[in-house]
Structures are given as C-alpha cells and as structure tokens.
Copies of this chain bind each other. A is one copy, B any other.
C-alpha cells in the first residue's frame, strides 16, 4: 500500500485543532497506555509464577499476595483484602483416559474432570460408549440403551461463526448439564468434546452442575483431537470400551479474598465506579487471557489516570475477584458488603472476554441510560472500539444489579480466538499481544473517564 495522500482515517481529531476536551483526554489515555510495559511484565509473573490458581488452592493465596503487592506500589488511597469462604474443588491425581479395542490395543485419550465433578471409583470405569450429538438423541435412545455406558457428547463447536461466543453457546450445554441429563438414563459417566474450534490435544475444562434429585456421575472433557480419534474408532468398533479414572473431590472450604485498590472520589466520595477481573483461573492453565489480562488491565485504569494526572471525581475501586470460575463467591461477597456498607454504585466494568483487540463494550443498563452511554460511542471511533451492545456484563459484577441503579458493562474484544485459549493449557502468557492488552486498558479507562466526568443520568 502506497499512501501518498497520508490520510489518517482514524484519530484525525487528535491532529486538527478542533478537538474537544474529551477527545484530547482519551487520546492522552490511549497514548499513556500504549507506551507501557509494566502490566505486560506483571502478567508474565502472574502467569509463570502463579498458574493454576483455582479458588481454594494454596497457589491462589500466593497469587493474592502477589496482586496485593503490585497494587500497593501504585499509590491507591488504600489496598485491602476482602475475605470470603470458597469451596475447594481439587483435581487430585491426573486423570486417565483410554480407548481399548477388542484386540486389546490401548489408545490414550487426553481427558480431564470437569469442575465440580465427582470422581470415578478408585479402580476407574470401563464401559462401552454411546456417542450422541444432541440431548434429543439421548432421549430417543432411552434407559435400556444408555444404562451402564459412558455417554460421549461429540458435537463439535461450529467453527464458521465469526462470533465464537455464539458457537460456544450452542454446545456448552453438554459440558454444563450433560452429566445431569445422562445420569437420568443410568449412564456411568460422560465424556464431553472440548468446547473449542481449535484442534488440539488439551482438554478444555469448565464448570458443570448436577441435578440434586439424581445421583451424580463423573464428567470429563476430552481434547478435540482425541474426540475425533474416539469417534473414528467407534465407527469402526461400536463396542469399543473406554476406561476413565479421576480423583477429584471437594476438600474443606477455605478462606480466600478479593483484592481491592481504592481511590476516594474528589467530588463524589460516596459514589462508586468498579473495574475488575477475576484472579482465579482454572487449574490446568496459566490463565493469561482468562483472566490474568483482565486483572492487569483493571489496575492499569488507575495507573493511566495517575500518569496523565486525572483525579477521579467518583470513588474508584479496582477489584481482583476470587472464585469466578466455580462459584462466584468473590463477586457475591463484594456486592453483599457494598449493600451492607450502604455504598452507592453507579458503574461497574469487567474485563473477562480475553485480551485480544478491544472492539467495544456490552452493557446491562436501564433503557433510560442508554442514550447517554451510547453517545460515547463516537469517542471510540478513532480506536476501532465502536461496538456498543446491550447483551449483558460480567459474571462478577452482575451481583451489583440488585440494590443499585448502576450501569454494568463488559469490555468486548475480538472473539475470533478466545475459545482457542479458553480453560486449557493453551492459555499461556505467550498468547498475549502487548498492543491489544494495552488497548483494552485504554478502552476501559476512557469509558470510566467519561462516566466519571458526566455521571449516570
């Protein structure tokens, strides 16, 4: 591309004299964010030294210490821990999965227990497999066929969806409820194809739930490569047996903590703006996109304000929530204490959709607030983050919905690759692009600046 005309199609307002104050301020915010390496560096330490930081684990406590330590360097008015009790689900020994042919050949299958699952018996489960692509298929097969077998939900996530969340939503039900449904028909266990379009050998975990009235059965994720292998083998030999063994269990509940950095508002100290991400990750991953990046981006909001000399008028709380992946005790506790302390929350934003290129925001807000909030879209045009959607906010902050009149918001990033990383060993620091990480910080800081300046009316 030869650019003789040198058109600066984005950010033109930054150059010409007609810029208004908001555009200038947001240009400053983006500029401050883009030259920064501290958050990227901190994220590397979090990922490499404190991976697999599932709530309740000893390493999650070390991660809490680390986050508190880096926040204490950032001149918040106060940094503190907010205690809450979390369940401690423990994977135990590494799971074993294999397909065993009638000739006795064993094919290794990469599997992992789904979060919240019970274990198999110590001797494992060895059963025939029923492969299905839908719950309807399962219903049709019925008790007699399914009883005593392992149900294998093999439907692949649709890779043709530009919005990967849509593809995800179509199949994640098998992961979440597959065991509860299969148990009704007497299945011994379920094996669920990992919810990703990536062909890899990582099992992608995630939370599952039982139905209280039906006896729980063990639930596993299987990597997409091994799901394909198993389907192929089953086509050749439908009576093939699969062996599954897991050791997961709940240990005693543990004390854990949200980490909070607070800056008191210069004009409205009793009105709160929250920005956060979750500090726990699954226990099979560094949790770089999910959600280490969201943490350092949230801290960045305050770091950027400091850099450009902006003093928030409303109280700013930067929150590292614990236990998002399993039971959201951190988010729940934060909202509970906010209520107890009579806090007025006006705005909360969460970064928990990965750290690829920010493309906009999603909101959970009263219709009467929409006009004001959507009027800010224009400020994000120079930065390509113009998607403003009303499709919900974040898991941790949505507990603030009750008892407050707050606008809740999620940073939305390019979803193309999010489920490549999601809940798997592939979600490492190396998957993070520093430019996009910093742009996410800037997008959140810019929106918070606008909310802080104009309030919510």
- Interface extent on A, as a size class? 35 or more
Given A15-B166, A162-B384, A386-B387, 5 new contacts (CB under 8 A): A6-B172, A8-B166, A10-B415, A14-B166, A359-B359
Considering the chains assembled together, what is the distance between the CA atoms of A384 and B412 in angstroms? 10
Name the 6 nearest CB pairs between A and B, nearest first: A9-B391, A10-B163, A6-B169, A34-B160, A8-B166, A11-B163
The answer to whether B381 touches A389 (Cβ under 8 A) is yes
A15 CB contacts on chain B under 8 angstroms: 166
Question: How many copies of this chain are found per oligomer?
Answer: 2
Q: Which of B11, B162, B290, B352 interacts with A162 by CB under 8 Å?
A: B11
The answer to whether A1 touches B357 (Cβ under 8 A) is no
Segment of A89-97, A239-247, A334-342, A434-442 engaged in the interface with chain B: A434-442
Q: Which of A71-97 contact B (CB under 8 A)?
A: none
Q: Which of B10, B35, B395 interacts with A389 by CB under 8 Å?
A: B10
A31 CB contacts on chain B under 8 angstroms: 160-161
Residue of B nearest to A356 (CB): B357
Q: List 15 A-B contacts (CB under 8 A).
A: A1-B324, A1-B353, A7-B362, A9-B165, A9-B391, A10-B387, A11-B161, A11-B166, A14-B166, A31-B160, A35-B159, A162-B439, A381-B389, A416-B439, A417-B435
The answer to whether B416 touches A436 (Cβ under 8 A) is yes
Does chain B have a CB within 8 A of A5? yes
The answer to whether A34 touches B161 (Cβ under 8 A) is yes
Q: Which of B2, B387, B417 interacts with A395 by CB under 8 Å?
A: B2
Residue of B nearest to A10 (CB): B163
Of A9, A176, A417, most buried by chain B (CB within 10 Å of CB) is: A9
Residues on A facing B (Cβ under 8 Å): 1-12, 14-15, 30-31, 34-35, 159-163, 165-166, 168-169, 172-173, 176, 206-207, 290-291, 324-325, 328, 352-354, 357, 359-360, 362, 381-384, 386-387, 389, 391-392, 395, 412, 414-418, 422, 435-436, 439, 442
The answer to whether A395 touches B206 (Cβ under 8 A) is no
The answer to whether B168 touches A9 (Cβ under 8 A) is no
Q: How far is the CB of A35 from chain B (nearest CB, A)?
A: 5
Q: How far is the CB of A189 from chain B (nearest CB, A)?
A: 22
Q: How far is the CB of A53 from chain B (nearest CB, A)?
A: 15
